Structure 1
Amino acid sequence: MSTVRKVGLVGWGAIGRVVGTALAEQQVPGAELTCIIDNRPLGDTAPAPQRTFDEALECCDLIVEAAGQGVVREWGERVLASGTDLLVASTGALTDDDLSKRLLATGPGRVYFTGGAVGGLDLLQAVRSLGPLDEVRLTTTKLPSTLEQPWMDEELLSKLRTATGPVEVMSGTARDIPVKFPKSTNVAASVALAVGDLDAVRVRVVADPGARHTRHVVEASGAHGAYRFDVAHLPDPGNPATSQVVPYAVLRSLAALAGRTGQIL
């Protein structure tokens, strides 16, 4: 493998634009933006050539997914089978057990995921080595408009649209919730991947019309201790379903994969 990671970026939206611009400006040592994959014409403003997926696999050794869970489902195995590594931002796709097993079994490319909008995952992974956690809870609070989904009935939509304070939209496990909210609850999947058990993580999704910030509260406890992480992010102005910090989490993961030293990984 070359010393410089040749990156193909999937998606030129709220996450992809930040990641792609930083790569094009050489802000990540050891990584260069080789091409962009998107199903919309990007014109002359994109900082790298637009390529098809198949073309990208010919010239890249790392694909960065920043376009949604569907990309991971449709292309993940083909990327890895080609010998290209895959960095997944839409971790909700990995709550599909069959898909996750197939990705882990496919190579020679390797699959990685980024923690996105939540912290403390490294500590949860460390605690997991001591023994199972007795309880893991995640409460995600967002603006009601970012949580509306095609499957919702009129009663639930009305509840969201007329809310004057926080209202619970849905509760379930980290296996269930990311399927229902594919663009809004990747954090649930990230926490579950760190804990190692999709069904052990209980998730509440709350709509709050007064939520200036997107909030994620993780609470975990077990025989070895108790842990709480509370993060509040400004939503991305172009896509309020995504927190502004997410592309920078992707860039941090990219920097680690590119071999930058002197950092806590």
Structure 2
Amino acid sequence: MKVAVLGCGAIGGVVARALAAGAVPGAALAGVVHREPVDPPDLPVLDASAAIAAADLVVECAGHRALVETGPAVVAAGKDLLVVSVGALTDPALLPALERAGSGRVHLSTGAIGGLDLLRAAAAMGGLRRVRITTTKRAPALVQDWMDDAERARLVSATAPVELRRGPAREIAAAFPKSANVAAAVALAVGDWDLVEAAVVADPAAARTAHVIEAEGVAGEHRFEIRNAPSEETPTTSAVTPYAVLRAIGDLVSTGAVIR
């Protein structure tokens, strides 16, 4: 399977170099697409059109804008698309548009969290009454463009945990596009954006990024707590995320039994 990677940052760079090194049996790197002025010296760089033409699978690791701009062309060309920036799907029209664009298939990465398989099963069994996800990160990683000066100052000077926002998963994932993809992933897993309540907490003492997922329904009560080490390159990203992407690529290549 020839794989092209959109983005060459904290996620895409790790994925591309691992593919180039043969870390995923049955998959090979076709090239990377990126917007930076300097090309990575150790990787083949392609423009988007050439990458789509060369690949069987295109992995989006470049953010919401890249998915909106390039995703439909991937699917229209009959190529598979693996989405990492699932928070972009807060736009209710985007996923249907991708799926209608052509014969290519759309796959969603689990990213930095687990338990989505059980949530899907619980939702299918008889529905869920309550689903909540709380994400906690270091304060500087949560500064957003929409914040005014006073809110930014309150955030970076906080000496104790501060809940920045709580609301429906669609609202929170849109407000924190680099930090709340997990809220979107949970909502997509249970199939109900309105059911999932999400909260983002800034903690100046947080050494790791924490996600606590709680759910109740006919299947029982479930609680998952994940504490991920942040990427050294980009603290808003969990270091494990590119390895979740590589695992997803391996699953798409594999013809054997796969735990999902």
- TM-score tier, shorter chain, comes to over 0.9
User: SS of the counterpart of 2:140?
Assistant: helix
Measured after TM superposition, the shift of residue 173 of structure 1 is 1.0
Measured after TM superposition, the shift of residue 104 of structure 1 is 2.1
Q: How many residues align?
A: 260
Specify the alignment match of 1:208 in structure 2: 203
Contact 2:128 2:218 in 1 (8 A): yes
Contact 1:7 1:32 in 2 (8 A): yes
Counterpart check, 1:30 vs 2:21:
no
Percent of aligned positions that are identical: 48
Contact 1:42 1:50 in 2 (8 A): no
Measured after TM superposition, the shift of residue 220 of structure 1 is 0.3
Measured after TM superposition, the shift of residue 40 of structure 1 is 1.8
Residues 83-130 of structure 1 deviation map (CA, whole Å, 9 limit, x = unaligned): 111000111011211111111222200000111111000111111111
Measured after TM superposition, the shift of residue 262 of structure 1 is 4.0
Residues 44 and 77 of structure 1, relative CA distance in 2, 3 Å threshold = closer
Give the partner amino acid of 2:17: T
**What is the alpha-carbon root mean square deviation over aligned residues?**
1.2
Specify the alignment match of 2:57 in structure 1: 62
Of stretches 208-217 and 126-135 in structure 1, the one that deviates more from structure 2 is: 126-135
Specify the alignment match of 2:213 in structure 1: 218
- Relative to the length of structure 2, the TM-score reads 0.97
- One of 161, 164, 167 as aligned partner of 1:166: 161
User: SS of the counterpart of 2:99?
Assistant: helix
Counterpart check, 1:12 vs 2:8:
yes
Of stretches 101-110 and 162-171 in structure 1, the one that deviates more from structure 2 is: 101-110
Contact 2:75 2:99 in 1 (8 A): no
Specify the alignment match of 1:252 in structure 2: 247
Specify the alignment match of 2:80 in structure 1: 85
User: SS of the counterpart of 1:130?
Assistant: helix
Of stretches 49-58 and 132-141 in structure 1, the one that deviates more from structure 2 is: 49-58
Give the partner amino acid of 2:53: E
Measured after TM superposition, the shift of residue 41 of structure 1 is 4.1
Contact 1:141 1:214 in 2 (8 A): yes
Residues 167 and 44 of structure 1, relative CA distance in 2, 3 Å threshold = closer
Specify the alignment match of 1:180 in structure 2: 175
User: SS of the counterpart of 1:12?
Assistant: coil
Superposition pairs of residues 105-124 of structure 1, within 5 angstroms: 105-124=100-119
Contact 1:30 1:260 in 2 (8 A): no
Residues 208-264 of structure 1 deviation map (CA, whole Å, 9 limit, x = unaligned): 000000000000001221100000011001100000000000001000011252431
Aligned-partner Cα distance in 2 for 1:223–1:123: 13
Residues 42-62 of structure 1 deviation map (CA, whole Å, 9 limit, x = unaligned): 446233x21111111211111
Contact 2:61 2:85 in 1 (8 A): yes
Measured after TM superposition, the shift of residue 153 of structure 1 is 1.4
Contact 1:29 1:260 in 2 (8 A): no
User: SS of the counterpart of 1:141?
Assistant: strand
Ranges in structure 1 where 5+ consecutive residues have no aligned partner:
none
Residues 134-158 of structure 1 deviation map (CA, whole Å, 9 limit, x = unaligned): 0000000001101101110122112
Displaced runs of 4+ in structure 1, greater than 6 A? none
